[in-house]
């Protein structure tokens, strides 16, 4: 079971019950995650964390993500779930909200462009 976001996690930052069922010969993507080692507490905010401490912690977490071999898979997981807390795939929760909004806007624009092309071709 997930711990509340205000407690640092003492286990893997990617809970097994919420990960996709994708496994390959090497196992699930999160088994290779850098955050599974000793920095898991960096990825989730303790309660009433001061802003300066939060920013420093998030930057440290992003440095771990930057060297992670499965950063892209982690980021996609967090965007598809969507994960409401913590640093996942090198993005904070706020940065993921922005990325999702951009993705939705791009999808709407692509759909509109495709619809316009079909209407023009039919007309």
Question: Binding site membership: which residues?
Answer: 35, 65, 68, 74
Instruction: Mark the binding-site residues for [4Fe-4S] cluster, compressed into ranges.
Output: 35, 65, 68, 74
What's the N-to-C CA distance of the chain in angstroms? 56
d(CA 123, CA 118): 8
Spatial contact of 78 and 64, defined as CB atoms under 8 Å apart: no
Under DSSP, the state recorded for 2 is P
- Residues 26/79/13/8 CA torsion (nearest 10 deg): 180
How far is Cα 65 from Cα 87, in angstroms, rounded to an integer? 9
Sign of the torsion angle spanned by Cα atoms 70, 76, 80, 83: positive
């Amino acid at each position: 079971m997930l711990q509340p976001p205000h407690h640092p996690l003492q286990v893997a930052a990617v809970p097994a019950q919420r990960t996709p069922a994708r496994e390959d010969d090497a196992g699930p993507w999160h088994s290779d995650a850098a955050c599974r080692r000793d920095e898991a507490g960096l990825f989730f905010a303790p309660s009433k964390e001061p802003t300066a401490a939060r920013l420093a912690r998030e930057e440290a977490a992003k440095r771990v993500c930057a060297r992670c071999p499965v950063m892209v898979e982690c980021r996609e997981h967090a965007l598809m779930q969507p994960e409401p807390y913590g640093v996942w795939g090198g993005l904070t929760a706020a940065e993921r909200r922005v990325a999702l909004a951009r993705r939705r806007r791009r999808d709407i624009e692509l759909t509109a462009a495709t619809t316009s092309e079909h209407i023009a071709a039919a007309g």
